[in-house]
Amino acid sequence: MFCPNCGHQVAEGAAFCGQCGRQIEQIGARPKPARRRGLLALVVYLLLVLLLGGAVAGYVLLRPQNERATTPQNVVSDRGDAESTAVTTLPPSPTPTITTTALLTPTATASPTPRPILTITPEPTHTPTLTPTPTPTASPTRTPPPTITPPPSLTPTPTIDPGPENLVIGHSVNGKPIEAVRFGNGPQTIIFIGGLHAGFAPGTVTLAQQTVAHFEQNPAAIPPNLTIYVILSANPDSPNAPGQLNGRLNANRVDLNRNWDCNWLSDARWRGNVVPGSGGSAPFSEPETQSLRDFILEKNPAAVIFWEARVDNGLVSPGNCGARHQPSESLATAYGAAAGYSVADFEDVTGQVLNGDGANWLVQQGIPAIAILLPQYSSMDWAHNLAGILAVFQHDVE
């Protein structure tokens, strides 16, 4: 076996190494080669590299090392002074006897020079100074502008179809419809009424029908600021009797142009004669006049034109209920000048008072109104009246 200190071969069972004096009572086989120590050192190195960055550990662990310790020549005693050791020469006898001048039991076991222990002082831990992050200042939230809802008066109204539009504004005593046709969708309204005495002056019904047909074919002739209504026959129950009293009466035997509330009488006069009950039981007692009154007041027109008959060469009479009405007179002048008809108050011309006349009552309500008396009962005199109609359009446009 070998000495673990100096590597010298010693006899089996020897207590001390004869070379270095090291006690070897438990020494076994020769220590493993330095390769194993090198592997262990490599593992320690890697750990140090991981823990300390490897700078110092690399220097210490990788520097050259002596594989064996230098054999000491002297054994150091506990007192610190050296003692010399003499070894006798072995005689050639079979059983060698070792003689020493002094007892070889050392007072202190000599050890190989120990490898210096590396003391690693860890680097001081530098705690970084934390600079407080400033608290972000919240940006002001922009308040959205309030939603403005326009008042009802500013809400746009749907555009009305320019027509023609057929309407029923009421019914006669016998339930016949009173029909009207609308043209245009302007803010100003004009109403033409035919057939107030349908059986007495059938030419007024024909004139109303021809007016509708004309504007159906010529809708652009109606100015954009106007809406016009044409009532075809206001007295559909009257019998066909041109120029006769019966043609003026409805199914209740009431003259519809004596049933309005201006100088109204139940026993109204016609052609200077009193006709009992011709004025009805009260103003607006008849469904026909009620329908006309309600429709006109609802539309609040700028002008109302009644087509009646008859006066030679035609006559345009402005409404008058006890006082002259300048807007009605201006309207009559415009129509008469275009149509070539005379313009005068019918009562002044005939010298009689009209009871319950429609145009007169409308003037009393502040609505301009005129009555057109055609030259004939059954003829509509279209060309002259078309000129008068267009003059009314221009009159109200201006």
Please name the residues in contact with 213: beta carbons below 8 A apart, sequence gap of 6 or more: none
Question: Is the CA virtual torsion 291, 295, 298, 302 positive or negative?
Answer: negative
What size, in residues, is the chain? Answer: 398
Residue 159 in contact with residue 184, Cβ under 8 Å? Answer: no
Rounded distance, CA 188 to CA 396, Å? 8
Would you give per-residue pLDDT tens digits along the chain (398 residues)? 677 777 777 677 766 666 777 776 554 444 444 455 567 767 766 776 676 654 444 444 455 444 443 433 443 333 343 333 333 344 444 444 434 333 333 344 444 444 444 444 444 444 444 555 555 454 545 555 555 555 555 555 556 788 899 999 999 999 999 999 999 999 999 999 999 999 999 999 999 999 999 999 999 999 999 999 999 999 999 999 999 999 999 999 999 999 999 999 999 999 989 999 999 999 999 999 999 999 999 999 999 999 999 999 999 999 999 889 999 999 999 999 999 999 999 998 888 889 999 999 999 999 999 999 999 999 999 999 999 999 999 986 55
Global pTM exceeds 0.75: no
Query: String of b and e for 371-380 (b: at least 16 CB within 10 Å)?
Result: bbbbbebbeb
Tell me how far apart the alpha carbons of residues 357 and 230 are, in angstroms, rounded to a whole number: 20
Closest of 311, 277, 289 to residue 359, by C-alpha: 289
CA distance 311 to 319: 17
Query: Per DSSP, what are the bridge partners of residue 373?
Result: 308, 315
Q: Is the omega angle on the peptide bond into residue 122 within 30 degrees of 0, that is, cis?
A: no
Residue 189's contacts (CB-CB under 8 Å, 6 or more residues apart) are 226, 227, 228, 229, 299, 300, 301, 302
Cβ within 8 Å of residue 16, ≥6 positions away: 22, 23, 24, 104, 106
Alpha-carbon distance of 88 to 102, in angstroms, equals 11
